[in-house]
Amino acid sequence: MGRIVKGNEQFASEDIRKGISEKMKGEGNYFYGREHSEETKQKIREHHPHLNMRGEKHFNWKGGVWQTIRRMALRRDDYTCQRCGLREPSIMVVDHIKPKSIFPELLLVLENLEVLCPNDHARKSVLDEKQYNVSSIKKKQKKLIYARNNS
Ligand SMILES: [Zn+2]
């Protein structure tokens, strides 16, 4: 008979936690030896202000401008997918027509927002990838910052 364990109680013991944090410090950790210096972190924050803000300043902060403008878009489009016409308020996604990674200045512009269902949002992401090569641009941005910080 096994004893009843509440939630993750069995993982919460000090020994195990210590074991995990020891592992995290070691070479097994992906970030081993790569930790960003404070200066580097500051530079990343400067170059990606919309991605690196925390709490109240993060664009997705619950009480923030994004949540307000997101609601405006949902109301404007009446919670209806702009591609297929599905109306299912609880699952709708507010999409950036021009990707926010390429056009950060359009992050909070209502005209750049459209309501999509999850399916059409997934399709749209594939199209964005083809049209703008989003992931390679993100990679280039990362490389650029890395080069700046290590020259
Ligand atoms: Zn749809």
Mean pLDDT, the chain, rounded, equals 78
116 Cα: distance to centroid of ligand 1 (angstroms): 5
Residue 139 — pLDDT band, cuts 50, 70, 90? confident
90 Cα: distance to centroid of ligand 1 (angstroms): 13
Tell me: pLDDT of 34 over 60. Answer: no
67 Cα: distance to centroid of ligand 1 (angstroms): 21
Q: Is residue 27 part of a domain?
A: no
6 Cα: distance to centroid of ligand 1 (angstroms): 41
Are 79 and 73 contacting, i.e. CB atoms less than 8 angstroms apart?
no
Q: Is residue 109 part of a domain?
A: yes
129 Cα: distance to centroid of ligand 1 (angstroms): 18
Q: Is residue 6 part of a domain?
A: no
87 Cα: distance to centroid of ligand 1 (angstroms): 9
Q: Is residue 11 part of a domain?
A: no
| Pick from 13-17, 73-77, 105-109: least confident | 13-17
Torsion of CA 135, 137, 138, 142, to 10 degrees: 140
pTM above 0.75, yes or no: no
Q: Is residue 65 part of a domain?
A: yes
- Total domains in the fold of the chain: 1
135 Cα: distance to centroid of ligand 1 (angstroms): 24
- Going 58 to 61 to 64 to 68, the CA torsion angle's sign is positive
pLDDT tens per residue, range 35-55: 567 777 666 666 665 555 556
123 Cα: distance to centroid of ligand 1 (angstroms): 9
| Pick from 21-25, 55-59, 90-94: least confident | 21-25
124 Cα: distance to centroid of ligand 1 (angstroms): 10
Instruction: Give the pLDDT of residue 12.
Output: 46
Q: Domain range holding 94?
A: 35-149
Q: Is residue 26 part of a domain?
A: no
Please, which contacts does 88-93 make with residues 24 or more away whose CB atoms are closer than 8 Å? Answer: 88/117, 91/117, 91/118, 92/116, 92/117, 93/117, 93/118, 93/121
Contacts of 104 (CB under 8 A, 6+ apart): 50
- Tell me the mean pLDDT in the region 76-100: 97
Q: Is residue 29 part of a domain?
A: no
Q: Is residue 44 part of a domain?
A: yes
